[in-house]
Amino acid sequence: MNHTKAYSAASATSPLAAAKIKRRNPTEHDVQMEILFCGICHSDVHQVRNEWSSIMPTVYPIVPGHEIVGRVTKIGAAVAKYKPGDLVAVGCLVDSDGNCPHCQSGLEQFCPNMTLTFNSPDKHLGGVTYGGYSESIVVDERFVLRVPSHLNLAGAAPLLCAGITTYSPMRRWGVTKGKKVGVVGLGGLGHMGVKFAHAFGATVVVFTTSPGKKDDALRLGANEVVVSRDANAMQKHTGSFDFILDAVSAHHDINAYLNLLRPNGTITIVGAPEKPLAVSAFSLLMGRRNLSGSLIGGIAETQEVLDFCGQHNITADVEVIPIQKVNEAYERLLKADVKYRFSIDMASLKSE
């Protein structure tokens, strides 16, 4: 067993602070890595503050972080895919049973026995798993991914959650050239959604509550930007979208977006606000629209995202911060003030 430096929160109201945690020694199939960068997902904030208590209550202390890029430091005897020095990544999952129908079809995120990267029962050490706000991590090689070496590593880290979470539903619902696609909420997920929809050839409209993000949205690949508080601007798009991705982290009116779908159009919710959203039956009946959800993506598809981003030179737009600024970053996320993902330079943890 190793002790490693990390940042953890002791309760729903405590700030994150330096701590020591245990990591297992690599077993036969394990890869040990030094963590170079870890993105800050809004899910980290929801869970540190126990906002999902009814679905997955937080166990304290919590070490969040599931957008991990690192370098292999040690491998188990049976590991064939990686060697020390390789650039690797870990996303939201670190284990699953491998033999249920979901695992067999590459949808490990729905495995009843999957282990999340943090706040999931730890089969090796007991207690719960600890995430990427730390110096190192040990993960079964089946859940370790390869990072194209030419990508900017700070910007590649968010592909492991924000990337796969937006890529997967767009592939599933057929976002291609000629389709009209909306992205609601220009944060970490939303800005990746814009990049992917644009790369897939769709016409992209961003819906934002922040008028100041307009130029950035256009630069990221949007064809049009609508400030969602402008009822007239919203009205103009009624019944016209093939697909809308809703990546909003807080309570909002989803009916306003359902009404923008054309007949048979689909809205996929990826945002996970604390409280339920009210849906008007009429928003669905009119035009027999589809309301769906999506949760991250399986391991093979996450590797597909990394490879796609390698080929198209896509990374997140990041603000690189030292770990000591993490509490400030959380406060800024709550104000929708991020351009467009925080990525923690984990070298900053060495001085703690």
Ligand X SMILES: NC(=O)c1ccc[n+]([C@@H]2O[C@H](COP(=O)([O-])OP(=O)(O)OC[C@H]3O[C@@H](n4cnc5c(N)ncnc54)[C@H](OP(=O)(O)O)[C@@H]3O)[C@@H](O)[C@H]2O)c1
**Where along the sequence are the contacts to Zn ion (CB under 5 A)?**
41, 43, 96-97, 100, 103, 111, 161
Question: Among residues 204, 333, 344, 346, which is the contact residue for ligand X, using CB under 6 A?
Answer: 333
Site string for ligand X, 7-46 (x = CB under 6 A): ----------------------------------xxx--x
Helix (H, G, I), strand (E, B) or coil at 348: helix
Question: Among residues 202, 225, 261, 338, which is the contact residue for ligand X, using CB under 6 A?
Answer: 338
Q: Amino acid identity of 325?
A: K
Name residues contacting ligand X, limited to 156-175 (CB under 6 A). Answer: 161-162, 165
Query: 90 CB contacts (<8 Å, ≥6 apart)?
Result: 33, 66, 68, 70, 117, 132, 137, 139, 143, 144, 145, 160
CA atoms of 59 and 237, how far apart (whole Å): 44
Query: For ligand X, which is the closer residue by CB, 72 or 184?
Result: 184
As measured in angstroms, the least distance from the Cβ of 223 to Zn ion is 27
Query: For ligand X, which is the closer residue by CB, 253 or 352?
Result: 253
Could you say whether residue 116 binds ligand X (CB under 6 A)? Answer: no
Query: 220 CB contacts (<8 Å, ≥6 apart)?
Result: 186, 191, 194, 195, 198, 317, 340
Number of CB atoms found within 10 A of residue 273's CB: 18
Name residues contacting ligand X, limited to 232-261 (CB under 6 A). Answer: 247-250, 252
- What is the size of the binding site for ligand X (CB under 6 A)? 32
Give the DSSP H/E element, type plus range, for residue 176.
none
As measured in angstroms, the least distance from the Cβ of 161 to Zn ion is 3
Query: For Zn ion, which is the closer residue by CB, 111 or 346?
Result: 111
Query: For ligand X, which is the closer residue by CB, 32 or 259?
Result: 259
Query: For ligand X, which is the closer residue by CB, 35 or 186?
Result: 186
Name residues contacting ligand X, limited to 181-220 (CB under 6 A). Answer: 185-190, 208-210, 213
In the bound state, the residue with its beta carbon closest to ligand X is 187
Helix (H, G, I), strand (E, B) or coil at 268: strand
CA atoms of 114 and 94, how far apart (whole Å): 8
As a three-state string, the secondary structure of 27-69 is: CCCEEEEEEEEEEECHHHHHHHCCCCCCCCCCCCCECCCCCEE
Q: How many Å is the maximal CA-CA distance in the chain? A: 63
As measured in angstroms, the least distance from the Cβ of 303 to Zn ion is 17
User: Which partner from the list ligand X, Zn ion, none does 327 bind, CB cut-off 5 to 8 Å by kind?
Assistant: none
Query: For ligand X, which is the closer residue by CB, 203 or 210?
Result: 210
Question: Among residues 234, 295, 320, 347, which is the contact residue for ligand X, using CB under 6 A?
Answer: 295
The CA distances from residue 215 to 68, 89, 234, in Å, are: 29, 31, 19
Query: For ligand X, which is the closer residue by CB, 107 or 162?
Result: 162
Helix (H, G, I), strand (E, B) or coil at 5: strand
Q: Amino acid identity of 85?
A: G
User: Which partner from the list ligand X, Zn ion, none does 331 bind, CB cut-off 5 to 8 Å by kind?
Assistant: none
128 DSSP assignment = B
Query: For ligand X, which is the closer residue by CB, 18 or 250?
Result: 250
- Interaction site with ligand X (CB under 6 A): 41-43, 46, 161-162, 165, 185-190, 208-210, 213, 247-250, 252, 270-273, 294-296, 333, 336, 338
